[in-house]
């Protein structure tokens, strides 16, 4: 998208800031409204299973902040894949949290409708709260996301043969769509979670490409990923005919063109997908020895890497490989990446750094809701409107992140490029007024 001038865009951003400030967060007593506000563009937000702990981000906060009013989809992160290629919930420590998923009795003050769970009821925890959220927002869809960075270990095993694919898909449908949860302490049992999930999102990171340290990878992953999608589509449609509804199938796709070629059969995969979300972040981070952008719309002038990553590179890579525009949903980060021990002066960008920046939950990673408080507290906000990114620098520490101006710029670019919408990783990074989610909603509004 071409802007007439930085002043024009700054004026637009200021107007949006006023609108967002004037619009109050939706309270728990507000009347539920349809997700998406009449737009066909998708707005997909990841809700993290573990966010209810240190971040105290419950499903209820999607309601009270107003975020739920802005979303068409909630992706629940994550579901695990076993070594023998099955969906499962009852792994050992670090391999699952069924307590958070469906066993934890949610107290009244954390409940979407203000009604507390009773100990031993068949469905409690996050799954029950998501069902309550859907009751208030009938057009909102909830998908179970399988894998993620840590739990993609055995995807390759699950996708390896025709028999393994059939068994894997059947186990996922049985567990999440039929809702046959493992019984524990009075919770779970046959059909306990039926109706909570409207489809399945595959977050295999990555087929035939390095991911987490223990991931199983094979050259055959590339073809097997397509075959796995075909099997999911076949079984989802068969189950959907019984239930007289359509169950969605989506996937999370990488930003790296090399990973695209190694792990995916380009155009073929979109035959089976309702849509795909594209990684629009983690282009750079504390693992680099030089500060850089983590989510710029375009490669900035003077960037030290050639070639480099950007939103344009990621989306363009999928378009070049035959992806339909309206099935590409751009990922937007609700967090920043940071470095400390930055030397070389200037505005801190493209300068040597000593280590990932200290942070609340993970070195080099900080939520937007905390980064937004840094300007004026020793940090200066810098912005590159042409490249579409922002960063904070205090002379020693640099954070690259998406603020409302950057998010608005990306939302307008999504519309200009006729893409399928925006995706959020992750909803718990926003502030209590859902500022970033409301910015996406404003930017993608079509009428």
Packed helices 435-444 and 6-22: angle between N→C axes, nearest 10 degrees? 120
**Cα–Cα distance, 309 to 289 (Å, whole number):** 16
Give me 412's structure tokens.
């307008």
**Cα–Cα distance, 325 to 276 (Å, whole number):** 10
Give me 376's structure tokens.
């004026």
**Cα–Cα distance, 158 to 85 (Å, whole number):** 4
User: Chain centroid to CA 405: how far?
Assistant: 20
**Cα–Cα distance, 343 to 330 (Å, whole number):** 33
The torsion angles phi and psi of 49, rounded to 5 degrees, stand at: -50, -45
**Cα–Cα distance, 273 to 41 (Å, whole number):** 16
Cβ count within 10 A of residue 386: 15
Residues noted as catalytic: 205
List all residues 6 or more positions away from 306 whose beta carbon is below 8 Å from its beta carbon: none
DSSP-assigned states of every residue in 112-171? TTS-PPPTT-SS-HHHHHHHHHHHHSTT-EEEEEEEETTS-TTHHHHTSSHHHHHHHHHH
**Cα–Cα distance, 4 to 385 (Å, whole number):** 11
**Cα–Cα distance, 60 to 268 (Å, whole number):** 39
Give me 428's structure tokens.
């718990």
Q: Residue 261, SS3?
A: helix
List all residues 6 or more positions away from 239 whose beta carbon is below 8 Å from its beta carbon: 173, 177, 178, 247
Give the residue carrying structure tokens 């400390």: 340
Give the residue carrying structure tokens 């952008």: 293
**Cα–Cα distance, 243 to 249 (Å, whole number):** 16
Nearest to 48 by CA among 189, 191, 203: 203
Nearest to 24 by CA among 66, 67, 72: 66
- Say if residue 77 is preceded by a cis peptide, omega within 30 of 0: no
The torsion angles phi and psi of 99, rounded to 5 degrees, stand at: -60, -50
């Amino acid at each position: 998208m071409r802007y007439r001038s930085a002043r024009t865009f700054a004026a637009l951003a200021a107007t949006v800031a006023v609108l967002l400030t004037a619009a109050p967060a939706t309270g728990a007593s507000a009347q539920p409204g349809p997700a998406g506000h009449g737009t066909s563009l998708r707005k997909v937000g990841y809700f993290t299973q573990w966010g209810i702990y240190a971040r105290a981000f419950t499903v209820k906060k999607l309601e009270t902040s107003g975020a739920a009013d802005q979303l068409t989809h909630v992706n629940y992160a994550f579901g695990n894949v076993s070594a023998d290629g099955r969906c499962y919930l009852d792994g050992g420590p670090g391999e699952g949290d069924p307590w958070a998923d469906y066993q934890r009795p949610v107290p009244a003050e954390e409940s979407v409708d203000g009604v507390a769970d009773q100990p031993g009821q068949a469905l409690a925890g996050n799954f029950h709260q998501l069902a309550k959220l859907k009751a208030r927002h009938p057009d909102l869809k909830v998908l179970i996301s399988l894998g993620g960075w840590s739990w993609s270990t055995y995807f390759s095993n699950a996708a390896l043969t025709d028999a393994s694919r059939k068994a894997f898909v059947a186990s996922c449908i049985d567990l999440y769509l039929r809702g046959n949860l493992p019984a524990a302490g009075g919770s779970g049992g046959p059909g306990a979670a039926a109706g909570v999930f409207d489809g399945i999102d595959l977050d295999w990171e990555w087929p035939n490409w390095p991911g987490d340290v223990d991931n199983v990878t094979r050259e055959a992953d590339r073809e097997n990923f397509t075959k796995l999608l075909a099997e999911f589509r076949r079984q989802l449609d068969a189950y959907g005919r019984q239930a007289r509804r359509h169950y969605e199938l989506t996937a999370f796709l990488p930003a790296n063109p090399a990973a695209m070629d190694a792990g995916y059969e380009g155009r073929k995969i979109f035959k089976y997908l309702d849509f795909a979300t594209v990684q629009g972040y983690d282009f750079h981070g504390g693992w680099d020895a030089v500060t850089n952008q983590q989510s710029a719309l375009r490669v900035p002038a003077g960037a030290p890497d050639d070639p480099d990553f950007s939103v344009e590179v990621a989306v363009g890579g999928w378009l070049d490989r035959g992806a339909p525009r309206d099935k590409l949903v751009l990922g937007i980060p609700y967090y920043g990446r940071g470095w400390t021990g930055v030397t070389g002066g200037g505005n801190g960008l493209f300068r040597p750094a000593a280590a990932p920046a200290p942070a609340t939950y993970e070195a080099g990673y900080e939520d937007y809701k905390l980064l937004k408080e840094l300007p004026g507290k020793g940090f200066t906000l810098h912005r590159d409107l042409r490249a579409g990114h922002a960063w904070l620098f205090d002379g020693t520490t640099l954070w690259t992140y998406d603020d409302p101006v950057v998010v608005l710029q990306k939302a307008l670019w999504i519309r200009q490029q006729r893409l399928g919408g925006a995706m959020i990783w992750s909803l718990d990074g926003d502030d209590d007024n859902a500022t970033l989610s409301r910015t996406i909603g404003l930017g993608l509004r079509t009428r």
